Amino acid sequence: MNLQVTESDVLLGKSLAELTTWMEERGQPAYRGKQLYQWLYQKGARSLGEISVFPKQFRESVSDYPIGRSNIHFRAVAPDKTRKYLLQLQDGLIIEAVGIPTSKRLTVCVSSQVGCPMDCDFCATGKGGFTRNLKAYEIVDQVLTVQNDFGERVSNVVYMGMGEPLINLEQVIKSVKLLNQDVGIGQRSLTISTVGIPNKIRELAEQKLQITFAVSLHASNQTLREQLIPSAKHYSLQQLLAECREYVQITGRRVTFEYILLAGVNDNPENARELVKHLRGFQTHVNLIPYNPISEVDYQRPDGQRIKQFQDILQQNKIAVTVRYSRGLSADAACGQLRASRR
């Protein structure tokens, strides 16, 4: 660990032009910049020493240079093949990333912060507090690490790991551009999920990205939402939905609403009907997430019949709806279970 190195020195996160300059400053021809770029973003090089196309002497002289990759501190594999990683950053802090394979896709769930300041009642990440925002390169690193570990190209990235992406919007947007332009993942295959931060949804919309955008709604009225999500006290459901409508207008893309289902709390047919009222005429899609248990609180997951009933009410009202049965449950890698421990 070299604490002298500042973020601007780290190679991952730099553009092709910046990498070319970096090589030229070290007496290397410009085309070596392109090679460095390809090895960093395509081959996922973890050190300059392994870039075998570089002259041996040069390679040796820069082999210790920090390129911005984390170390896999711990890895757990669930029976459904989902892999949860604890990654150690350069400053020693630990974050989580999850690799979720299906027959056609490899999805990575990335963290945007170390910990999370939102403290939603049902989520494990918030229970551990908040430490710092991640830099864009630290988000890209998670994708490259999972890609490398599976030996397979990542097709989708969801910003649904630790943290609230819209509090770290600048670095999150930078990472979206890096993943899209430099790693080569389509914007529509990148999903940002937020609990909603005042004015930030508009700011994201103004970027006019083609990403998939999801909002963690979780409640059908303001009182219930405040009970589950402390920050909702400063951001009314009405304001949140108004900003989401603006998002649709500005980007021409629909908004996905995530709705966690907690038995006896927000899963009543009445809640479903209330939700329908809010979403009528909205270009949207609802993703129901049956609660994944965490140890700190005693919420319950509703049974299948109850979930189906909620889903049916939305469907009958012409609202597109899917149920997300989270992967990786037994490895504590499912939605809301991420915390930097290896229980």
Binding site for ligand SAH (CB under 6 A): 120, 122-123, 160, 164, 193-195, 216, 258, 260, 289, 291-292, 294, 335-336
Q: Is the CB of 34 or the CB of 285 nearer to ligand SAH?
A: 285
Q: What is the closest distance, in whole angstroms, from the C-beta atom of residue 335 to ligand SAH in the complex?
A: 3
Choice between 44 and 196, CB closer to ligand SAH? 196
Using CB positions, name the residue nearest to ligand SAH. 336
Report in angstroms how near the CB of residue 23 gets to ligand SAH at its nearest: 37
As given in the structure block, the two tokens for residue 112 are 């945007």
Tell the smallest beta-carbon distance from residue 144 to ligand SAH (Å).
21
Whether 109 is a known active-site residue: answer: no
Question: Which residue lies nearer to ligand SAH by CB, 86 or 123?
Answer: 123
> Considering the complex, what minimum distance in angstroms separates the CB of residue 164 from ligand SAH?
4
The three-state (H, E, C) secondary structure of 8-20, written as one string:
HHCCCCCCHHHHH
Please state the closest distance from residue 211 (CB atom) to ligand SAH, in A. 14
Helix (H) or strand (E) holding 330: none
Report CA 196 to chain centroid distance, whole Å: 14
Tokens of 86: 């604890």
The answer for residues whose C-beta is within 8 angstroms of residue 246's C-beta and 6 or more apart is 201, 202, 205
Q: Which of 7, 96, 123, 258 is catalytic?
A: 96
Nearer to ligand SAH, 36 or 192 (CB): 192
Q: Of the two residues 171 and 216, which places its CB atom closer to ligand SAH in the complex? A: 216
Pairing of strands 321-323, 284-290: parallel
Q: How many CB atoms lie within 10 A of CB 27?
A: 8
Q: Catalytic residue among 109, 123, 244, 335, which?
A: 335
* Catalytic status, residue 335: yes
DSSP 106-168: EEEE--SEEE-SS--TT-HHHHT-EEEEPPHHHHHHHHHHHHHHHTS---EEEE-SSS-GGGG
| Residue positions annotated with a catalytic role | 96, 335
